[in-house]
Chains A and B, each alone.
Chain A
Amino acid sequence: MSIPNKPPAIGGFIPRDRSWQPDALTPGYKTSVKRSPQAALLSFPTTLSEETSPILGHQMLGELDNDLIHNFAQPGESAIGPRIVVHGRVLDENGRGIPNTLVEFWQANAGGRYRHKKETYLAALDPNFGGCGRTITGEDGSYEFRTIMPGPYPWPNGMNDWRPAHIHFSIFGHGFAQRLITQMYFQGDPLIPLCPIVGVLKSQEAIDALTAPLDMNRTVPMDSLAYKFDMVLRGRRQTYFENRKEGM
């Protein structure tokens, strides 16, 4: 096989590093015990089914979709809580920004209460806070939204377990193999090392990867603090030696 003098072709996705990602069975997080597969996962290289993904574009976004302070509030009112901006980039493992991909986020209100009928925590609901938002990344993979600082809350696991303040994220990428849900934590939160869900992460490096630093450069003076949170999705291999037919 000759090596053509042109940029390398795009191959399949780089295999997921299962030694880095949390295991399915993590007894400290009790619900995982009966919800974790016990057989080995079946590994095979990605195919078109995993290298393609749905088209979810900018045209579907509403003006307030990335403003949780106002997207559920009555006209002229706003959600209660410390005002923050959360921003960052969605990157692949090769360090490239992932443009035009849907990012969804959801969180508890400033008192640690979710707007959900199965939620039983006694903290008050905020009538002006729904708790969800979404945006689509820009050409460099950047995203930004405005919200209030979510509160910590207790949850039934051990007798006295508390979730650190966190925001949930759902990200698509450009191949279904990249599909990911994760959570963002806040710098300096003393509950982070105590949480059994954080505890499924296998290293301090992994916890750090989900902990957003305060970013004074992106604060809005007299308005909002800011936190920076980059997310990394799987990358694709690049190779001259791709044993595939053209277009596959």
Chain B
Amino acid sequence: MTQPLKYLKESPSQTAGPYVHIGCTPNFTGIEIYGGDLGTSMKRGPVKGQEITIKGTVFDGMGAALKDAMVEIWQPDAAGLFPSANETRGQADPNFTGWGRSPGDMDTGEFIFETVKPGAVPWPDGRMQAPHITAWVVARGINIGLHTRIYFEDEAEANAADPILTRLEHQSRVPTLLAKSEGDNVYRFDVWLQGPNETIFFDI
């Protein structure tokens, strides 16, 4: 016998279920409470940097759009600083929250985030990563929240040097992580849970 290690086990995940919106975006479902839903706006006032819109839809393995998903994004400001208590490198833009939450459109499932293009953030060894946004998808039928990243197709030079994008075994899947410009500062990032275009999801 040895001494017990006594670490705790992470709580097991369970699906967010069909009614995640009641808990996380209740006003969206018609439950008027809290003075509004959290994460609806990522800006408290004028923000620094390039303001962009990210739109997308979550699709299942049959190509059907999910209408009961919730997508959250988390990102640094235009200078690459996180509006977080754990940010030690400087003060992020005080008018930018860095965090957005979207229940998707009630009829189409399309999610929309009004945000800023993120600045670059270093990899642990000091190399710069390409600008990216962390995304997290939950829904009925998803047993544990899916992490992915939104990179930008129009950041080709930074993407070509990114520590994660460059080490992917199947380079043909890299485009599943790239938001594509639709002009006028609008980007599209669809999420495919399954199938030939399955998005790369992260164990992180």
Do B13 and A49 touch across chains, with their CB atoms under 8 A apart? no
| From B31, B74, B203, contact of A115 by CB (8 A) | B31
Number of interface residues, chain A, beta carbon within 8 A: 89
A50 — which chain B residues lie within 8 A by C-beta?
134, 147, 204
Contact check, B122 vs A54: say whether CB atoms are below 8 A apart. Answer: no
The distance from the CB of A194 to the nearest CB of chain B, in whole angstroms, is 16
Q: Which of A53, A132, A183, A206 contacts B84 (CB 8 A)?
A: A53
Q: Complex formed: what's the CA distance from A95 to B8 in Å?
A: 6
A228 to chain B, nearest CB (A): 14
Partner of A37, one of B7, B134, B164, B194: B194
Q: How far is the CA of A56 from the CA of B24 in the complex (A)?
A: 13
Residues of A within 8 A of B62 (CB): 34
Q: In chain A, residues 1-54, which have Cβ atoms closer than 8 Å to a Cβ of chain B?
A: 12, 15-18, 20-24, 26, 29, 31-39, 41-54
Chain A residues lying within 8 Å of B126, measured Cβ to Cβ, are: 245, 248
Q: Which residues of A contact B138 (CB under 8 A)?
A: 181
0 or 1 for each of A197-213: is its CB under 8 Å from B? (1 = yes): 10011000110011000
User: Judging by beta carbons under 8 Å apart, are A65 and B85 in contact?
Assistant: no
B124 touches A54 (CB 8 A): no
**For B45, what are the chain A residues with a Cβ–Cβ distance below 8 Å?**
none
The docked-state distance in angstroms from the alpha carbon of A175 to that of B143 is 20
Of all chain A residues, the one with the shortest Cβ separation from B39 is A54
Q: A92 vs B16: C-alpha distance in the bound complex, in angstroms? A: 21
CA distance A47 to B204 in the complex (A): 9
Interface core residue of B15, B85, B123, B198 (most chain A CB under 10 Å): B15
A58 beta carbon closer than 8 Å to chain B: no
Given A34-B61, A181-B145, the answer on whether A42 and B164 have CB atoms closer than 8 Å is yes
Q: With A26-B143, A49-B134, A197-B14 in contact, do A44 and B204 touch (Cβ < 8 Å)?
A: yes
* Chain A residues near B136 (CB-CB < 8 A): 176, 179
A38 and B199 CA atoms in complex are apart in Å by: 10
For the complex, count residues of B whose C-beta is within 8 A of A: 81
Chain B residues in 8 Å Cβ range of A31: 140-141
Given the known A-B contacts A43-B203, A52-B87, A244-B124, are A210 and B134 also in contact in the complex, defined by CB atoms under 8 Å?
Answer: no
Interface residues of A in 81-108 (CB under 8 A from B): 91-95, 102, 104-106
Asked if B139 contacts A35 (CB within 8 A), the reply is yes
- Given A20, A32, A118, A175, which contacts B18 in the complex, CB threshold below 8 Å? A118
Contacts of A181 in B (CB 8 A): 13-16, 20, 138, 145
Instruction: Choose among A41, A48, A72, A244 the residue with the greatest number of B CB atoms under 10 Å from its CB.
Output: A48
Q: CB-CB < 8 A to B34: which residues of A? A: 60, 62, 65, 134
Given contacts A35-B61, A200-B143, A232-B10, contact A42 B168 (CB under 8 A): yes
A17-B9, A34-B141, A55-B84 provided; 5 other pairs, C-beta below 8 A? Answer: A39-B173, A39-B201, A93-B7, A131-B22, A168-B14
Which 3 pairs, one residue from A and one from B, show the smallest C-beta to C-beta distance?
A: A106-B23, A31-B141, A54-B99
Q: B residues bordering A, Cβ < 8 Å?
A: 6-24, 26, 29-31, 33-35, 38, 60-62, 64, 66, 68, 72, 74-76, 82-89, 97-99, 121-126, 129, 132, 134, 136, 138-147, 149, 164, 168, 173, 193-194, 198-204
